[in-house]
Structure 1
Amino acid sequence: MPAHDKVELGGKVFTHSMVEAEGIRFHTVSGGQGFPVLLMAGFPQSWYAWRRVMPLLCEHFHVVAIDLPGQGDSDKPIDGYDTRTTGDRVHALAKTLGFERYHIGSHDIGSWVAYPFVVRFAEEVGRLVMLDANIPGVTLKSTIEVGPHNWKAWHFFFHQVADLPEILITGRERSYIEWFFQRKTYNPAGTFSQADIDEYERVYKQPGNLRGALAYYRAVLEDVEQNKSLATTKIDTPTLALGGDVGMSPDIFEAMKPLTSHIEGGIVRNCGHYMPEEQPEEIGEKMIDFFKKDENG
């Protein structure tokens, strides 16, 4: 993705940039003025997951959606995909962007990164939004029982297997991505266009991107150990936790309650796992209202 290209989203103009921090080149898409909001997405996605929410947020905030390392058009480092190391890299990016204080919006793996991040860098994060995520070692059980509803988490184990996922997925990236979108979305046809699938296929066919995506799952056991110590400290940062009623984590609000001092949230109806794309207006409105409660933001 060429740096400084413009892209129009919902009638608003955003800028693609490549920003180097701690030796990692991050792809960012930014727009709007005001208090900074950093957005992080999950699997099998990229910054593009926020494309429908960003035009709403940018009317009130300076929005920066990023591709995490190994994701989208960012660099694909050989290692360092545990959420602590990833958090350090994102923190370096925030510093490079000149952010002293900012809000975070996160979904899926983005929330894996955001949880330890906000514990470690609490003084910098004004408010945190977590969307439909299970946090390793915190709200994600170390064992997943066999049952009619637990099929949604099968890929946690598959992605941790060495080499085999690459063998089976390479050349079939589009089919693999479509499987998740078809089965974990409340209304797939009304959510993802062929052009949307094209974009996700484009980034996942790039050299190193599939390995990078899988690496986050292969670091889960390391995340679990890191988060065990963090879970003894309550999050003081005001947090909004939302789950889709047919998503991966409809109970994220209840699950995060014991871990936070100030939390709001609940369930978004007619919504699966891919919340920013499935219900962008509701998600955008809830995020704006929540962020605006911050006296500095």
Structure 2
Amino acid sequence: MFDAVEVRIHHVTAGTPPGNGGDDQTIVLLHGWPQTWWEWRHIIEPLHSDGWFVVTPDYRGAGGSSKPESGYDKHTMAGDIRALLHHLGVQKPITLVGHDLGMLVGYAYASLYPADVRRLVLMEAPIPGTETYESSLATTRYSKNRLWHFHFHGAAGNEAETLIAGSEFPYLRNFYVKLSANPDAISLSDAERYVADYTAPGAMRAGLELFRAFEKDADDNRRVLSEKGKLNMPVLGLGGTASFFLPVAEKMLSEVAESVTVRPIEDSGHWIAEEQPETLLRRLCEFIQETGGE
């Protein structure tokens, strides 16, 4: 655990931090909702074996990290991750990978601290403040079939928590199954682990606060894009061929980044790291080599 101002950030690492006689390069993996660092369990050791110092935090509000009342805008959460990396002694630019809502934290990190990011991998979420995000939620089939929960979770008040309370397991498992091309990829025991984390005191409220912050995220993203311009580091978008992301990824990412590559993860739905970890590793290795290696 690491104290980042008012929050404690639980994290799992593999390897020794750079500067302490450890691995030369750092890769940071940011999980999505409703998940924790456990999302990355299949790829942590292979990445470490390839010479990476691997950092997998539970972001603010998730898993073993603190669940404060506020601070769920993605700029604040990016600051938590940056403070953690400074605490770990990471000084060189990192490779940053974000999935689902962790993708939004990763994008915020790269936009706020571009010199700290060597390359950026974004998977399976619409970025608030982009035209693609607005159109996806407003009119397309994605909002009706895949992103309906953005509206439900993002509503003010505690109605969502009240309605979910007592039904956390079937409610959360529905996401793991319905958004997957491989329903067995997140097993019952994995689902039970995630649900245990999200039924801890304050955890469901904290998770929903990430959605309630989307309007602020949109304002923050538009402001930083206007002030700093598009991202200049290489950006890779990855989406499952059975998910919503691929059809909108190139247009959306080109709104915020100069150098964008989009590639599919075949036979995968939304939960890429668990459905197709070997393909994900291959795509990451290809991107790393294409963008200058380690």
- TM-score, normalization: structure 2? 0.89
1:60-71 equivalent positions in 2, closer than 5 A: 60=50, 61-71=52-62
1:188 aligns with 2:183: yes
* Residues 242 and 253, structure 1, Cα contact 8 Å, conserved in 2: no
Q: Deviations over 1:205-228 (max 9, x none)?
A: 111110110000001011111111
What letter is aligned with 2:195? E
Distance of 2:76 and 2:256 partners within structure 1: 22
Per the alignment, residue 86 of structure 1 pairs with: 77
Gaps of 5+ in 1: 1-17
Offset from partner CA, 1:152-182 (integer Å, 9 cap, x none): 1110010022211111112211111111011
Q: Which residue of 2 aligns with 1:158?
A: 152
Q: Which amino acid aligns with 1:97?
A: L
Given that 2:168 and 2:199 are in contact with CA atoms closer than 8 Å, whether structure 1 keeps it comes out as yes
| 1:2-21 → structure 2 map (5 Å cutoff) | 18-21=1-4
Question: Residue 200 in 1 paired to residue 194 in 2?
Answer: yes
Equivalent residue, structure 2, for 1:257: 254
Aligned to 1:238: 234
- Corresponding residue for residue 140 of structure 1: 133
Structure with a larger share of its residues in helix: 2
> Percent of counterpart pairs with the same letter?
30
Deviation per CA, 1:94-148, whole angstroms, max 9, x where unpaired?
Answer: 1111111211111011111111210110111111111111111124116422648
* Alignment pair present for 1:116 and 2:108: yes
Evaluate the alpha carbon distance shift between residue 75 and residue 180 of structure 1 in structure 2; reply closer, same or farther with a 3 A threshold.
same
CA distance in 2, matches of 1:231, 1:271: 31
Give the secondary structure class of the aligned counterpart of 2:102.
helix
Return closer, same or farther for 1:287/1:54 CA change in 2, 3 Å cut-off. same
2:30 aligned with 1:40: yes
Consecutive unaligned residues of structure 2, counting only runs of 5 or more, are: 16-22
- Structure 1: distance between partners of 2:191 and 2:213: 27
Q: Is the CA contact 2:14–2:48 (under 8 Å) kept in the aligned structure 1? A: yes
- The 3-state SS of whatever aligns with 1:55 is helix
Segment drifting more, 225-234 vs 160-169: 225-234
The alignment's TM-score, normalised by the length of structure 1, stands at: 0.89
Cα distance, 1:149 vs structure 2: 6.9
1:261 deviates by 2.0
Q: Name the count of aligned residue pairs.
A: 279
What's the C-alpha RMSD, in Å, of the aligned pairs? 1.8
1:241–1:266: 8 Å Cα contact kept in structure 2?
yes
Is the contact between residue 243 and residue 253 of structure 1 (CA under 8 Å) also seen in structure 2?
Answer: no
Match of 1:12 in 2: none
1:281 aligns with 2:278: yes
2:9 to 21, 26, 46: 26
